Structure 1
Amino acid sequence: MRRLFDEELADLDASFTEMGMLVSETIGKAVTSFINHDRQTAQEIIDNDSQINQREVVLEKKTFEMIALYQPVTIDLREIVTVLKAVSELERMGDHARDMAEATIRVKGTKRSASIEKNIAQMGELSKTMVKEILSVYVKDDAQGASEIAKQNQAVTDMAHQVRNDVITQIEDDAKLATSGTDYLMVAGHLKRISDYVTNIAEWIVYKRTGKIVDLNSGSSSFI
């Protein structure tokens, strides 16, 4: 029985990691398509969003089945609960990537700002990297590493505030940027929320390793 449980747990971890990599790639594509005004890639992201949703459903079902069948305790139960919670966070990240893709399609023909888009690209790269890194520390069961990744959330927050300030300043100078400026704020907000969700996963990794509930996100979840 123990061998079967360990095998299923390993499969669960592998499926969770695969879902995380898919989400990370989708975030990267969403930001790149927004910056490059690539409506075709944006539409593909929207069309493929159901793949992430389906993975969440499958993983959630698997965790419930394992709890019912094996009735795990202590560290085994914490590991299953961590996956159950973390897949929900990944699915939300996918939703934000889809929303960024929708913004890409919506802003066609509006005036853009190269400097703001550069900052958004940097936000996107850091957010995508955080997702990849949190998957790595999950596999390593590294609570300290998870805490270190969560600290990067502040850098994303600072970038979001910079985007907000730049949008306000540039709209004051040129009212034609008002439409795209609204989308810049929305995209920055989506990336900020993605980094918040990474922090949430980091908290669950700490819980899995130590059994303690911690708060690694001492800042605000919003920058507006």
Structure 2
Amino acid sequence: MSENINLVQRRRAQLQSAVGGLGKLVIAALNQSVTCLSQHDLELAERIIEGDAQINQQRRVLEQECLVTLAAYKPAGADLRAIGACMELVSELERIGDYAADVARILRRAGETRFPSESVEAIVEVAADAIAMLGEALDAFTCGSDEQGARASIAREDQVDRNEQAVMQRVLAMMRADPDFAATGTYLLWIVHNYERVADRATNVAERAVYVACGETLELG
């Protein structure tokens, strides 16, 4: 019996580490999308879009591994919570990866049309906070489910929301002042919302880390 428990714990650690690995791929894609936006790099946009397939494939592999582990080892308690959370988080991470690809697709759609530098800089700030939130939440989950770290990881969420609103107000004012700016403004609104959603889903990751650590399902956001 104790041997089986050790196997379950080992498998749980492997899965949590694999979730962390997927998270690193997603964070790399997000950081690439920020570079893509900052530099209006259309070639990088294409590479981000192509790279999304790797994230999607890794999600499917990890989901299958979680299912096999649940069936083979029948974990209980914290191990069951952790492996179930791994299944949920690979789905969350795949969707967050989609946000990076969506930003790249918006850049591709905009083509050679350059975005106003002030708006881009403000969006990059939103993105940086959201990506930092995600990284901290993932660390809390993968490093033994650190409840305090998970709770601390969402400290930036209100700032992300405020900064997103500031960008939206600025862009909408520009759209009202210049009807020709409507398409470009719409692209900017879509982009900043994608990064705000990263922060929302980072909060979900933090909630799962807390759940694994103490068994409580909390609304942290």
Q: Specify if TM > 0.5.
A: yes
Confirm or deny that 1:43 pairs with 2:39: no
* SS of aligned partner of 2:17: helix
Count of matched residue pairs: 217
Confirm or deny: 8 A CA contact 1:82 1:204 kept in the other structure: yes
Deviation at 1:92, TM superposition (A): 0.5
Counterpart of 1:211 (choices 212, 215, 221) is 215
Confirm or deny that 1:107 pairs with 2:120: no
Q: With the length of structure 1 as denominator, give the TM-score of the two structures.
A: 0.92
| Most deviating of 55-64 and 8-17 | 8-17
Q: What is aligned with 1:222?
A: none
Confirm or deny: 8 A CA contact 2:66 2:87 kept in the other structure: yes
* SS of aligned partner of 2:79: helix
1-side partners of 2:128 and 2:119: how far apart? 14
Q: Deviations over 1:196-216 (max 9, x none)?
A: 110011111111011111101
2-side partners of 1:82 and 1:111: how far apart? 41
Structure 2 vs 1, CA of residues 104 and 111 (structure 1 numbering), >3 Å: closer, same or farther? closer
Counterpart of 1:66 (choices 37, 55, 69) is 69
Deviation at 1:111, TM superposition (A): 5.0
Confirm or deny: 8 A CA contact 2:174 2:181 kept in the other structure: yes
Tell me how large the CA RMSD over aligned residues is: 1.3
Q: With the length of structure 2 as denominator, give the TM-score of the two structures.
A: 0.94
The one-letter code of the counterpart of 1:178 is: A
2-side partners of 1:110 and 1:117: how far apart? 13
Gaps of 5+ in 2: none
State the identity as a percent.
31
Confirm or deny: 8 A CA contact 1:25 1:128 kept in the other structure: no
The one-letter code of the counterpart of 1:101 is: A
Counterpart of 2:5 (choices 2, 9, 27) is 2
Deviation at 1:48, TM superposition (A): 1.1
Counterpart of 2:126 (choices 107, 123, 127) is 123
Counterpart of 2:30 (choices 27, 30, 42) is 27
Instruction: Map 1:37-186; keep pairs closer than 5 Å.
Output: 37-110=40-113, 112-140=115-143, 141-186=145-190
2-side partners of 1:198 and 1:111: how far apart? 30
Confirm or deny that 1:188 pairs with 2:175: no
